[in-house]
Structure 1
């Protein structure tokens, strides 16, 4: 089990240091052949899984692809992108199918000696109903009707109540972990490129992915190569996206 520092021992980064790290991260398309050390990979994955996530069910998994022959097979799967030729590829997978096991693991790995009763009841009871969609999604259908009725009288959590909701639920948390992962590699001096351009059917065959796993990106990692960044950064004005209420 991965060991993490206690809250009391964590020194907060300054806003300037955090901004510098975030601004230095770019999607790099060309890498050198220098390998990424296993200890760096493990440290960065440890920071990735510190990401906030829904009900602490951590619905993600990562396939770390170091083998050169396997990486070569993934280049055409990733449409021949230059980034796919990086010395390290990580398949970032959302896992809407692992919630039941995760409920058990939360109680198994609870960090204090005594588990609060409200916590035990949630993971052994409430969550078992909340995330379970039943055979063919029939329980989810029942819950959607129940929510419509109960929601007339009070506010309540209305999703996830379908298999489609569960996919979104898992992808949201996994995307947060992916951002942590990219910034972690950046802090070690390694560039990244999150690739969404890939043939999912072929990817599943090459990596033998679990049927319900959702590949949300293939992360290319390595030292930035010559002309690794294609263009200057472009972002729309903040006012275009923000509403102040």
Structure 2
């Protein structure tokens, strides 16, 4: 009998639950609508917190979790945020307004946390090595020096038929990476609200400079959307939901 390696001894297994109610899951997704008008009913604090916690379970690149959710509670700030949302009815009537912000300013911090807060007594050597190097995949450096270096290096590597991952060659690439991940968390959030009997409106129509000023964001923090949340008013959905033929979007190759 061969001796087990240390890695094999510590291998982690997590069985997938098989008792998920798919019909209720389908109901949550199909009943999620962009609600434009809410009632005066408040969302219980414990429900809002549970939905935010479920949002944070969204998949994300290298577990770097590049997001912050600002729950705007101060009446004056809420008034300014409604203004920043161009006075949309969904913002005016929402019980809660949450600004979802993608961040590229704490990649190093999150990489370090993946080592210090690894869910075993000590992070394996391979994990420590990974998180020492992975931040460079998303960072571009001062005056884009690192981004330009990667661009040249990747170009040379591809001439040798090397397969390479997506990386950030400039700040726009880094912003896109963080925004994609944050959008996944936003979807988790609104579906969680629906499961608890509440609704939402994901608003991308807002005055970004005003939102930045309101939340005092730096230039590596990007407002992705403002989510209005609350109880759906009887006339809160303005039109039936419809989608185009699936053949336009699904291709088997």
TM-score grouping bracket, smaller chain normalisation:
over 0.9
Mapped to 1, the partners of 2:15 and 2:246 lie a distance apart of 35
Given candidates 74, 80, 88, the residue that maps to 2:96 is: 88
The aligned residue for residue 109 of structure 1 is 117
Q: CA deviation at 1:244?
A: 1.0
Superposition RMSD on alpha carbons, in Å?
1.7
The aligned residue for residue 56 of structure 1 is 63
Q: CA deviation at 1:12?
A: 4.7
1:163-214: CA deviations, max 9, x gaps?
1110011011101000000001111111100001111111112222233211
| Structure 1: gaps spanning 5 or more residues | 1-5
Given candidates 213, 219, 239, the residue that maps to 1:231 is: 239
1:213-239: CA deviations, max 9, x gaps?
111100000011131000000211111
Equivalent pairs counted in the alignment come to 239
Q: Could you state the TM-score of these two structures normalised by the residue count of structure 1?
A: 0.92
Alpha carbons 1:28, 1:193 under 8 Å: kept? yes
The aligned residue for residue 40 of structure 1 is 47
The aligned residue for residue 20 of structure 1 is 27
1:57-206 correspondence runs (5 A): 57-85=64-92, 86-124=94-132, 126-153=133-160, 154-206=162-214
Q: Does 1:214 align with 2:222?
A: yes
Mapped to 1, the partners of 2:198 and 2:135 lie a distance apart of 40
| Structure 2: gaps spanning 5 or more residues | 1-12
Mapped to 2, the partners of 1:9 and 1:165 lie a distance apart of 34
Q: Could you state the TM-score of these two structures normalised by the residue count of structure 2?
A: 0.89
> Equivalent residue of 1:151, what SS?
helix
Alpha carbons 1:66, 1:87 under 8 Å: kept? no
> Equivalent residue of 2:134, what SS?
helix
Alpha carbons 1:28, 1:224 under 8 Å: kept? yes
